[in-house]
Amino acid sequence: MGYYTSYSLSIEADKGYELDEERFQVALLEATKHADGHYDSEVKDLINTGVWGKLYDIVDTITEIAVNFPHLLIMLSGDGEDSDDLWEQRWKGSEKEYQIFTIPPFQNPNLKTEYEKKNDC
């Protein structure tokens, strides 16, 4: 069966490096090409509009490719089937960072649950 995630890809190029965006997209398509030579349709959709799919290796693939594009800020976000699976990963060359979206703890003690009060959440 598998786990579906809604993926979105955004790219921002440093001034003067706008052509690198298309080069990155081609590199991503080439890296995810099927053995029969056809491009992965989910990756094509990801590049064009975003995709609801099972791109299990996409983070590793982008990590490998991003080092060749130090003038691009590459942003991949995901919204998984589970309600708490909302994240974004960013790359710029060999730098990368992964963030999970969370609701920060409530500040007003009168609005905290007993569990939150006991566990200092």
Q: Which residue type occupies 77?
A: S
Q: How far apart are CA 104 and CA 95, in angstroms?
A: 26
Q: How many of the other CB atoms lie within 10 Å of CB of 5?
A: 21
How is residue 117 annotated by DSSP? H
How high is the pLDDT of residue 1?
Answer: 61
pTM: 0.85
Please give the C-alpha separations between residue 23 and each of 28, 62, 85, in angstroms, as whole numbers: 9, 13, 30
Q: In a 3-state reduction of DSSP, which class is residue 28?
A: helix
Average pLDDT for consecutive 10-residue bins of the chain (121 residues)?
A: 90 97 98 96 97 96 98 97 91 97 89 88 76
Contact at 8 Å (CB) between 77 and 8?
A: yes
Contact at 8 Å (CB) between 4 and 80?
A: yes
